[in-house]
Structure 1
Amino acid sequence: MDSPDAWQRWAEGGALLPDQDGLPDVRDLPAGLRRRLSRLGKIALRVAMDIGTDEKPRVVFSSRNGNVTQMLQLLESLAVDEPISPTGFGMSVHNSLAGMLSIMTKNREAQTAIAAGGESLCLGLIEATAWLREDPSAPVLLLHADETLPEFYSPFRDPDVPVCALALLLAPADEGSGGYRFGFSGTSTRAAAGDPLQSFIRFLLRGEIDWNWSGAQGNWWCQRHA
């Protein structure tokens, strides 16, 4: 989905596109770096670059499994005593995409990487908002990306996790304008409700007031206020 209308139709109840093997157009990225990117890298850096800010934000990267497809290829090479690619190894590290983004944008601000299972998006939001509260003078870019686990890991696969990437630029709300509050309760009062990403994006697109999601660690919520 690459238009506001398509996203809005999906937010109102439409299904995700059945073919998730398509790749975004990344021809505007430097060729030398572009060749090193996996599918996850291309979708993640596409949305990050599409933010289009002239500022140099701090970056929080969150993902359940990171570049797991590339990591599996390395493990398969090791299993048959083949040498592994240094470039492939470097790109399989969990914070590699945040590092690649900093190279392309010449951004020397702080960055961190989050891996927290099904609650990776939520912990990424907590990290980003905590950074913003600590120092509101500069924005924080939250970059979240995931892809369906390869067949080799099918016993551990969550069926509702799509190939996806989300980039949010967080900044303090202007005095008197609307904004969002995000929080967490360490007590889980409901059964875990699958992957939070799709419901959170629908909450934003629909302009709803409240969002709630339950994971293994507890209840997460977000409120829009005027």
Structure 2
Amino acid sequence: MPDLHWTIPVARWSSWPAAATAAPDIGFIEPIVRRRLSTLSRVALKVAHDCVAQDEVRVVFASRHGELRRTTDILRTISAGEPVSPTAFSLSVLNAMTGVFGIARGDRSAASAISAGAETLGYALLEAYAQYAAQPGSPVLLVYADEPAEPAYGTIEDEVQGGAIAILLNGEANAGQLVCTLSRAGEPETAEAAQGASHTGEDNESGTEESFASQSQALLHCLETGQPAAWQSAGAAWHWRLHERAI
């Protein structure tokens, strides 16, 4: 499979760390709804709200596990022979956050949800780019939020670190151009080989590429520092680098 390259115009971006102890401020959500939301939805709504004003915006929400903890609680409730809360059920779906966000803003724009294992964030970036490229006049908001699965599910390969990231795609590109690359190989690459393959041209000028344990860590490092970053799995290498906005 040939390498895929695409460039995202980043107007604004926001993040919420997994290790945060304070609760995110989502005062724009009505209290009756707010108190029913999970931590995952709260952090997703926080970073999403940070990136948009009142304009209509398409949303791509991405999460490997989504509302797995809420779903697990529902399964335990069923196992115990107890009735399931309709509210808990309605908020257990992967795209629950997009519904709450759209209702709160009165925005009927299209929304989609993506889950693709350890590569969820990378493919969400590709989906957001595809939607934006198809209709450049309409901004797209990418929201990624995740949290590790409960121990009951055992060891999970390439487990997520948690936290949230939001990126607003539109033509302003105030924060710069995010260059994304996906490389597929017939045989699994080593992290060193994938890292070395990108140390050419502009990457050498912007600094040494660093590999990370998760896609979200790599992307956040790139956005925060402007330095290239990578994430490697068996047979696939994802690379990100940020070009600053021209003055």
Q: Considering the TM-score relative to the shorter chain, is it more than 0.5?
A: yes
Q: CA deviation at 1:143?
A: 0.4
**Greater fraction of residues in strand:** 2
Q: Percent identity?
A: 34
- Which residue number corresponds to residue 214 of structure 1? 232
CA separation in 2, counterparts of 1:86 and 1:123?
31
CA separation in 1, counterparts of 2:135 and 2:28?
32
Superposition RMSD in Å: 2.4
CA separation in 2, counterparts of 1:168 and 1:221?
17
TM-score by length of 2: 0.75
- Which residue number corresponds to residue 12 of structure 1? none
Could you tell me which runs of 5 or more consecutive residues in structure 2 were left unpaired when the two chains were aligned: 1-14, 192-210
Aligned AA (2:216): L
Q: Does 1:166 align with 2:165?
A: yes
Question: Is the contact between residue 148 and residue 157 of structure 1 (CA under 8 Å) also seen in structure 2?
Answer: no
Which has the higher mean CA deviation after the structures are superposed, 185-194 or 131-140? 185-194
Quickly say closer, same or farther: Cα 1:178–1:95, change in 2 above 3 A. closer
Aligned AA (2:44): A
TM-score by length of 1: 0.82
Question: Is the contact between residue 62 and residue 115 of structure 1 (CA under 8 Å) also seen in structure 2?
Answer: yes
Q: Secondary structure of 1:42's partner?
A: helix
Q: Give the one of 176, 195, 201 matched to 2:220.
A: 201
Question: Is the contact between residue 59 and residue 143 of structure 1 (CA under 8 Å) also seen in structure 2?
Answer: yes
Quickly say closer, same or farther: Cα 1:186–1:172, change in 2 above 3 A. farther
Could you tell me which runs of 5 or more consecutive residues in structure 1 were left unpaired when the two chains were aligned: 1-6, 8-15
Q: Secondary structure of 1:118's partner?
A: coil
- Which residue number corresponds to residue 145 of structure 1? 145
Quickly say closer, same or farther: Cα 1:193–1:82, change in 2 above 3 A. same
Question: Is the contact between residue 180 and residue 223 of structure 1 (CA under 8 Å) also seen in structure 2?
Answer: yes
Aligned AA (2:107): N
- Which residue number corresponds to residue 37 of structure 2? 37
CA separation in 2, counterparts of 1:155 and 1:182?
29
Q: Secondary structure of 1:185's partner?
A: strand
CA separation in 1, counterparts of 2:99 and 2:158?
27
Quickly say closer, same or farther: Cα 1:28–1:224, change in 2 above 3 A. closer
CA separation in 2, counterparts of 1:44 and 1:124?
14
Aligned AA (2:182): F
Q: CA deviation at 1:107?
A: 1.3
Q: Secondary structure of 2:148's partner?
A: coil
CA separation in 1, counterparts of 2:138 and 2:233?
30
Aligned AA (1:171): N
Question: Is the contact between residue 213 and residue 219 of structure 1 (CA under 8 Å) also seen in structure 2?
Answer: yes
Question: Is the contact between residue 52 and residue 168 of structure 2 (CA under 8 Å) also seen in structure 1?
Answer: no
Aligned residues: 207
Aligned AA (2:178): Y
**Greater fraction of residues in helix:** 1
- Which residue number corresponds to residue 182 of structure 2? 184
CA separation in 1, counterparts of 2:222 and 2:119?
17
Question: Is the contact between residue 41 and residue 97 of structure 2 (CA under 8 Å) also seen in structure 1?
Answer: yes
Quickly say closer, same or farther: Cα 1:171–1:185, change in 2 above 3 A. same
Question: Is the contact between residue 212 and residue 229 of structure 2 (CA under 8 Å) also seen in structure 1?
Answer: no
Q: CA deviation at 1:27?
A: 3.2
Question: Is the contact between residue 20 and residue 163 of structure 1 (CA under 8 Å) also seen in structure 2?
Answer: no
The 5-angstrom pairing of residues 52-201 of structure 1 reads 52-156=52-156, 158=158, 161-172=160-171, 178-187=176-185, 188-191=188-191, 194-201=213-220
Q: Secondary structure of 2:29's partner?
A: coil
